[in-house]
Structure 1
Amino acid sequence: MKNIGFLSFGHWANLPAYDTKTASDTLLQSIDLAVAAEAIGVDGAYFRVHHFARQLASPFPLLSAIGAKTNKIEIGTGVIDMRYENPMYMVEDASSADLIAEGRLQLGVSRGSPEQVIDGWKHFGYTLQDGETDQDMGRRRGLEFYNLLKGEGFAQPNPNPMFPNPPGLLGIEPNSRGLRDRIWWGSASDATAEWAGEIGMNLQSSTLKYDESGKPFHVQQAEQIRKYREAYKKAEHTREPRVSVSRSIFAIVNDQDRYYFGQQAESVDKVGILEGTQRAVFGRSYAAEPDQLIKELANDEAIQEADTLLLTIPNTLGVDYNIHVLESILKHVAPELGWR
């Protein structure tokens, strides 16, 4: 059995082929898509966060709106770039959204991906500490956010407050106490996956990974997941961890599917360079008629290792078509692979 969710990058542009021509279109359709996805049995609605781009950025207003209009679907991110975040303010925002959703947030956080602009986090008012890389800063801020969710007091109360204070040091409020168990670290390397296991976060592994062995993408990703679980177990955490992988998977069941995705049927892994120096492997897309798709997916080792599968969707094609894409997987593929 697998939790199956969708992952939207939230693109918009004023192009004839796009149903999402404005930011408003993308935000409102994201809400409608989550509501409709819940109705057909999808387990999660996840959104990518990018800055300085015509894509979804600040996630918490959207997550709150979805939480208010749905009842059971998980609502999450994949991922929030912690280089741009104030961890204390983020605890307030995330806790508020989680309380509105009655405990359904699943927040993916990380260092983030290559940016649209040079050192964009500097424009948000953040700087590196002495000797720190931006990767270090992302992990430091992620860990600070994670620890603040414990709800412990740390601030000295004012002796003459506007409102009466409880005894002792004060912490961030509101603080949704169960949210800490639902924080995921987005990892592109084996080392950061092991780091996430050591500190007790869940793991998100995306459609790209640093190429650390030359093996096929899904094999490297499966090995990464196993290393994460070993580190988690060694740290003696008591909660059962969760692991997600993201995939572009399209069941071709009509001519419209064939028009959009038929050319991806022979897709293979791709190798590229991230940030000028880092060799990375990008996982293939899957697009085929259901019988063939089932055979191909059965050989994906990382999907077998994960408990949660996030299906990347072409959000620019509109709500109705994306519900068709998701429903096709739930109806024609998931049962045959034991996911349902």
Structure 2
Amino acid sequence: MSVRRPIVTVIGPSGRDLVPFWGTTLLGVTITDQAGYESDEAVLRFTAPPFVPPAKGTRYTVSAGWARDALAMTGTYTVSRVRFVGDPERGEMMEAVCRAADFLDKMKASGSKHYDPKNGFGTAGKIFRALAAEAGVPAVIASEIDAIEIPYRLRWNQSLLDFATDLADEVGAIVKPQAGKFVVLARGDGKSGSGKALPQITIQHDPSYAWSVDIEERSSVERTEMAWFDAKAGRMRNEKAETGRKGGRSAGMHPQPSKEEARKGASARAQELSRFTGTASFEGPGRPEAVAGAPLKCSGFGETIDGIEWEAAGITHEIEPEDGWITTIEAQTREKAS
């Protein structure tokens, strides 16, 4: 039986596909797509010296597929570092490690700033856009996150990315450097930065590929509560959110600045408590359409696993032009709070 060979193109700074030039010196490509805060990554593996390593910042656009007329662009990456490795079985290699966000260094710079309506802020969207502008990139923000009221925030000797991550956690969002943009999405809604629903990934049981599922029950919490101070009434009030489970309550440790933030904080906490009750890993043939954050449906694994709503937390493509293409999907349970 002949080996099904994937097609990979790597467009370099000259605008030309470098794969034919590299030939057999290109051993393979590993592409990682994360749904969380980490930048996506591509690793180009070459035969060992005397191959000259690419300079830091060199830009590559990688596409892959099973047919040349149906290639999917995985992303544009810049060289972050180069490493050389040796293995008795696989021999010696050079790896060019590239990341999708060439502005990530700017996101790690520390600073301090007040964010309040008097200075032109007041919503989560305005704060996120200011952070993106500071990094020199455009922001793409989900509409349900954009309008959340944030009366005041202080960033004190904190990096852009850490501050943005903390704020995202509070309002039930995730931030991600992606394709030269600062993307802010609602956590667990299965949408892309443009607001379109991500296509569902279907995993059919196949004994030819490895898989594992780990299911763990969380402590039972029926609802979450977040306190806020009502200045007009002169008293503390609580905002509540249901988890959809049976059990006790979980109260926030610190009061929130406003009713809206308390409501959103309670909802985000409820959603967090209803997630991550299980993790899974599925290997299979190359899936160019698989995207991190997309809903995932299992079939043929049994009633328990098939009945769980899964979400793709991370996608890894291991592509070797001469030997094949394996896609590994790391999944987590996908349950949204009501």
Question: Which protein has the bigger strand share?
Answer: 2
Report the structure number with the largest CA radius of gyration. Answer: 2
Structure 2 length normalisation: TM-score? 0.29
TM-score of the aligned structures, taking structure 1 as reference length: 0.29
